[in-house]
Amino acid sequence: MSVTLKTDEEIGLMRVACKNLAKLHEELKDLIRPGITTLEIDRRAEEIITSMGCTPNFKGYEGFPASVCVSVNDEVVHGIPSAERILQDGDIVSLDSGMIYKGWHSDGARTWGVGNISGEAKELIRITEECFYKGIEKARPGNHLYEISAAIGEWATSHGYGVVRDLVGHGIGRSMHEDPDIYNYPQEDEGIRLEPGMTLAIEPMIAAGSGAVEWDKKDGWTVRTVDHSLCAHYENTILITEDEPEILSL
């Protein structure tokens, strides 16, 4: 495993990519309404990213055809935008995207309600975001990676939710996916010791059901819950500092 520590200059470039990503998510949030297609969301995302002088890092990644993953209801991640997929009142939709600025990556995800959503859906979204914050409470120098993973998983299961175990967070920098993998549930191995200069994408994916998932056999990308339960996703790119972690993508 090779985990890179970023210099102040490199972190500065990542901050630009991440702050732009935060602006992107705020603009996309305002698009979410019944009747919009997932393709419209993707097209607007690409327009925004390029207008910022950045490049979409999802588009073309291992053949992925879009600039943002748009995943609806029981879709966990990697939903492919489509003109035929129309958001309906009561849906929840997860938007996962990132961009490159001068060779440095950002990555982040949010789940939003479409129109009027159920109390159960609101609670799932809330707890998923809380899982992220529980995790980064442990993202301090000297701690080990497993402490982040355990905090995320324990908060989810204590509220009766399932953790998606087949997908992980990751390091990020010059590449969108770098070492280390960051699990969302407790690990037997303590993992690496956290050091200032590490940049990580921490991303709880939490399901109302068991958390077991499967990949779409037709498109090869879309990941769904096996029991078709709702799933929410919350991700930010963070920096390990000498003290508290810095959330770069807010």
pLDDT tens by residue, 120-141: 999 999 999 999 999 999 999 9
User: Which pLDDT tens digit goes with each residue over 221-247?
Assistant: 999 999 999 999 999 999 999 999 999
Structural domain including 77 reads 8-247
Cα 192 from Cα 3, distance rounded (Å): 9
Residue 2 lies in a domain: no
Residue 93 lies in a domain: yes
Strand order in the sheet with 162-163: 162-163, 205-207, 231-233
Residue 29 lies in a domain: yes
Residue 230 lies in a domain: yes
The total of other beta-carbon atoms located within 10 Å of residue 46's CB is 18
Token pair listed for 89: 């009142």
Domain count, the chain: 1
Cα 87 from Cα 68, distance rounded (Å): 15
Residue 39 lies in a domain: yes
Residue 3 lies in a domain: no
Residue 114 lies in a domain: yes
The answer to whether 149 and 183 are in contact (CB under 8 A) is yes
Residue 1 lies in a domain: no
Instruction: Please report the pLDDT score of residue 1 as a whole number.
Output: 78
CATH code at position 133? 3.90.230.10
The answer to whether 27 and 48 are in contact (CB under 8 A) is yes
